[in-house]
Amino acid sequence: MNTVVPGSEQPDPDDAPVEGIVLRMLLGTQLRRLRETAGVSPERAGTEIRGTRSKISRMETGRVGFKARDVDDLLTLYGVTDEQLRSRFLSLAKQANRPDWWTRYGDILPDWFETYLGLESAATTIRSFEIQFVHGLFQTEDYARGVTMLGHRAAPAEEIEQRVAVRLKRQDLLTRPTAPRIWSVMDEAVLRRPVGGAAVMREQLRHLAEVAALPHVTIQVVPFARGGHAAASGSFTILRFAEHDLPDLVYIEQLTSAVYLEQRADVEHYLEVADQLGGSALTPAASTLFIEQVIKET
CA atoms within 13 A on the CB side of 65: 20
Name the minimum Å distance from CB 107 to other proteins.
36
Nearer to other proteins, 94 or 181 (CB): 181
Give, in degrees to the nearest 5, the angle at Cα 133 between 128 and 134: 65
> Do the beta carbons of residue 291 and residue 231 sit within 8 Å?
no
State the nearest-atom distance from the C-beta of 285 to other proteins, in Å. Answer: 3
Q: Which residues are at the interface with other proteins (CB under 8 A)?
A: 181, 183, 215, 218, 220, 223, 225, 240, 244, 247-248, 264-265, 268, 271-272, 274-279, 282-287, 289-290, 292-293
Q: Which is nearer to other proteins, 110 or 278 (CB)?
A: 278
**Which lies closer to other proteins via its Cβ, residue 119 or residue 274?**
274
> Least CB distance from residue 183 to other proteins, whole Å?
6
Q: At its nearest, how many Å lie between other proteins and the CB of residue 182?
A: 11
Residue closest to 260 by CA, chosen among 79, 6, 3, 54: 3
Q: What crossing angle do the helices spanning 21-38 and 68-77 adopt, rounded to 10°?
A: 20
Q: How far apart are CA 296 and CA 66, in angstroms?
A: 54
Question: Which is closer to other proteins, CB of 9 or CB of 245?
Answer: 245
Query: Considering beta carbons, is residue 2 or 276 the nearer one to other proteins?
Result: 276
Sheet holding 125-130, edge to edge: 2-4, 258-261, 249-253, 236-240, 125-130, 181-187, 217-222
In the complex, the smallest distance separating the C-beta of residue 39 from other proteins, rounded to whole angstroms, is 23
